[in-house]
């Protein structure tokens, strides 16, 4: 284990600039989530369920936008892709704070469809700027900055809503994000080596052979699909832990400590990303998913707020590393010319996991109690991790069986 890797990364100018800029690009998202909720239940005088509907609409819109904006990044490059969000977002976020509930939903849906693909951009710049041996550490550094953004965002959102009011807070926070996007457009960092190119599967063929109208992209293969499924599962576990934590602190009659407990959970994730990136050998994504699922189930056995916070810290230690391991494995399996689109699908897997996990975990909590969220989330994680492991084993066995005995791996020989 060597933390010197992070110092080496920080000395790379492109990496340093994009990580700092990425922090400012991401903070508006969790900050606005809090502000919009307070705005809907406050000035608009609506219920929390209606506030949740706004969040669901935004999540669906962002899940749609990730792959197609990522594909535009691959085809058109950074500057031309950013022209779309920079044309739409200033209009939508300048109007949204001052309208009623239904127009707000429509404007937020449009804003979600044209969200700046910050995750794809930051990670592509980072991966382009580092050596292959530094890839995992670089993605871990990005995960650390993401955790910082999601720790600072809610605090910024609450403070700005308290001092400015929800309408002005929404406007100011989103315009700060737009300013960061304009800075990104001006800097125009390279996201791949050389100019963006159209993927080979998009080039018309002159061979005369019939082409399928809805052919899958060339990068789609069982390995990538399984890793996206693992990412979806990790996200489902995290939202189950999130809701379970709220329910647990209410059950312990310690609601006032909820913010502190959430910060402890985020700290565990940050420390996990830091350690994972510094390791000389990195456990695969399936192993990390098993550890995340197992420690999530273990948290259900807490007997009080102190033991709960300690077990949540332990589970948090595997949050960011699980997502990082899956992302590193995915990006290593696809060419750089389609990396933007693939990262968009990775983001969509996270968003959809949260969207599906929230009502599922809520049902388990209503049925069993706060423990239900952790048992359901962690249990599903363990089951899907086992399914992924079996699928990978079934795919690898036929390939290895065709090799000469001397070239087979020890695992295949057992």
pLDDT tens digits for range 207-230: 454 445 555 666 677 778 888 888
Give the mean pLDDT of 5-16: 83
Question: For the residues 195-217, what does the mean pLDDT come to?
Answer: 48
- Please give the backbone phi and psi of residue 214, each rounded to the nearest 5 degrees, phi first: -115, 45
Cα angle 49, 53, 58 (rounded to 5 degrees) comes to 150
Mean pLDDT of the region 224-244: 85
CA atoms of 342 and 355, how far apart (whole Å): 20
Question: By percentage, how much of the chain surpasses pLDDT 70?
Answer: 86
Mean of pLDDT values over 308-335 = 86
The pLDDT, as a whole number, for residue 310 is 93
Higher pLDDT, 355 or 236: 236
Confidence of residue 404 (pLDDT cuts 50, 70, 90): very low
- Cα–Cα distances (Å) from 119 to 67, 212, 350, in that order, read 12, 32, 12
pLDDT attached to residue 91: 95
Segment 292-313, tens digit of pLDDT: 999 999 999 998 889 999 999 9
Q: Which of 154, 150, 92, 95 is nearest to 118 (CA)?
A: 150
Give the tens place of pLDDT for each residue, 78-125.
Answer: 899 999 999 999 999 999 999 999 999 999 999 989 988 888 888 888
pLDDT value, residue 395: 63
Q: How far apart (Å, rounded) are the C-alpha atoms in residues 297 and 376?
A: 8
218-395: CATH topology: Growth Hormone; Chain: A; (1.20.1250)
Judge whether residue 414 has pLDDT over 60: no
218-395: same fold as 1-193? yes
Reply yes or no on whether the pLDDT at 286 is more than 60: yes
pLDDT at site 312: 92
Is 80 exceeded by the pLDDT of residue 411?
no
The structural architecture, per CATH, of the domain 1-193 is Up-down Bundle (1.20)
| Dmax (CA) of the chain | 72
- Parse the chain into domains and list their residue ranges: 1-193, 218-395
Position 1 pLDDT exceeds 60 = no
Provide, for the chain, the percentages of residues in helix, strand and coil under a 3-state DSSP scheme, each rounded to the nearest 5: 80, 0, 20
| 240 pLDDT above the threshold of 90 | no
Residue that wins the pLDDT comparison between 199 and 153: 153
The backbone torsions φ and ψ at residue 301, rounded to the nearest 5 degrees and listed phi first, read -95, 10
Is the predicted pLDDT of residue 399 greater than 50, yes or no?
no
pLDDT tens string 57-78: 887 888 888 788 888 888 888 8
* Mean pLDDT of the residues in the chain: 80
Confidence of residue 39 (pLDDT cuts 50, 70, 90): confident
Task: Check pLDDT > 60 for residue 204.
Answer: no
Please report the pLDDT score of residue 408 as a whole number.
44
Q: Residue 200: pLDDT above 50?
A: no
Nearest to 99 by CA among 36, 175, 147: 36
pLDDT exceeds 60 at position 54: yes
180-184, 268-272, 373-377, 406-410, range with the lowest pLDDT: 406-410
Measure CA of the first residue to CA of the last residue in the chain; give whole Å: 31
Q: Is the pLDDT of residue 402 over 50?
A: no
> Which tokens is 51 given?
């506030």
> What pLDDT score was predicted for residue 409?
39
Mean pLDDT of 163-183: 92
User: Can you state the angle between helices 135-164 and 258-278, rounded to 10 degrees?
Assistant: 160
pLDDT at residue 396 in the model: 56
Give the residue-averaged pLDDT of 281-293: 85
Does the pLDDT value for residue 253 go beyond 70? yes
């Amino acid at each position: 284990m060597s933390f010197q890797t992070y110092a080496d990364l920080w000395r790379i100018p492109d990496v340093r600039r994009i990580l700092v800029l990425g922090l400012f690009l991401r903070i508006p998202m969790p900050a606005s989530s809090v502000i919009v909720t307070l705005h809907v239940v406050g000035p608009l005088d609506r219920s929390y369920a209606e506030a949740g509907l706004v969040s669901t609409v935004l999540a669906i819109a962002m899940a749609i936008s990730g792959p197609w904006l990522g594909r535009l990044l691959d085809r058109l490059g950074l500057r031309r892709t950013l022209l779309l969000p920079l044309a739409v977002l200033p209009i939508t976020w300048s109007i949204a704070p001052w309208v009623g509930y239904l127009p707000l939903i429509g404007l937020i849906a449009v804003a979600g469809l044209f969200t700046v693909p910050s995750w794809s951009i930051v990670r592509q710049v980072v991966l382009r700027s580092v050596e292959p041996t530094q890839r995992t550490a670089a993605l871990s550094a990005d995960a650390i900055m993401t955790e910082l953004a999601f720790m600072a965002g809610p605090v910024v959102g609450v403070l700005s809503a308290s001092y400015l009011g929800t309408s002005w807070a929404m406007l100011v926070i989103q315009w700060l994000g737009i300013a960061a996007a304009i800075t990104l457009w001006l800097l125009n960092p390279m996201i791949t080596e050389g100019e963006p190119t159209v993927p080979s599967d998009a080039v018309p063929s002159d061979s005369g052979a019939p082409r399928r109208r809805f052919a899958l992209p060339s990068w789609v293969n069982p390995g990538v699909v399984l890793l996206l499924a693992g990412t979806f599962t990790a996200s489902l576990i995290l939202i189950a832990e999130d809701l379970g934590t709220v329910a647990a602190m209410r059950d312990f009659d310690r609601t006032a400590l909820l913010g502190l407990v959430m910060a402890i959970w985020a700290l565990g994730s940050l420390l996990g990303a830091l350690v994972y990136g510094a390791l000389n050998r990195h456990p695969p994504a399936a192993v990390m998913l098993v550890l995340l699922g197992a420690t999530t189930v273990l948290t259900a056995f807490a007997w009080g707020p102190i033991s709960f916070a300690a077990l949540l810290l332990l589970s948090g230690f595997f949050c960011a590393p699980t997502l990082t391991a899956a992302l590193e494995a995915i990006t290593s399996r696809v060419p750089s010319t389609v990396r933007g689109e693939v990262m968009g699908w990775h983001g969509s897997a996270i968003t959809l996991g949260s969207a599906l996990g929230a009502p599922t975990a809520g049902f388990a909590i209503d049925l069993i109690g706060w423990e239900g969220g952790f048992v359901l989330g962690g249990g599903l994680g363990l089951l899907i991790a086992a399914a992924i492991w079996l699928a990978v084993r079934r795919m690898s066995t036929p390939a290895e069986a065709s090799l000469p005995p001397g070239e087979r791996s020890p695992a295949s020989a057992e």
